[in-house]
Amino acid sequence: MPHNLQIVDYGLGHPGSVHDAYAFQATKVACESNMAIPEGHWMWADSAYPLEPWCISPFKRLRGGNLSRNQSIYNRYLSKVHVWIEHAFAVLKGHFQSLQELRLKIRNKEDLYIAIYWVECCLVLHNMIICFEEGT
């Protein structure tokens, strides 16, 4: 399992109750997939995201049906990637404990932008820490 993963894309500014697929539309990779994902690379996504050549999501079991053996194996490997992603979020929140519960009342757009800038700063610093720790 990779110890430290950099965060390369994100979508901020949506309330927590927004569906993942809607929040995904605000990411750079969703808007500019041909520019954001290098050739031969892909990104993992959960089943809420679109299935594209560059966007890999798990197979869904049809109602009353079963997945094939290969589909089940594929989903198992993707679930391991999911664990890595969750680990990356845990490392991020470990570096910046304020992200565990951002204590900022959002009363207007300015407050929202302050929260977004705070999270973006933490993401940039997180990636810098990983680079410095790896010596790259």
Q: 12-43 pLDDT, tens per residue? A: 777 667 777 777 777 777 777 556 667 777 77
pLDDT-based confidence at residue 87 (cuts at 50, 70, 90): confident
pLDDT of residue 78: 86
Within 8 A by CB and 6+ apart from 99, the residues are 92, 93, 119, 122
> How remote is the C-alpha of 20 from its chain's centroid?
10
Q: What is the token pair recorded at 13?
A: 């500014």
Quote the crossing angle between the two packed helices 109-134 and 69-95, to the nearest 10°.
Answer: 100
- Mean pLDDT for all residues in the chain: 81
Mean pLDDT (whole number) for 39-51: 73
Mean pLDDT (whole number) for 51-71: 84
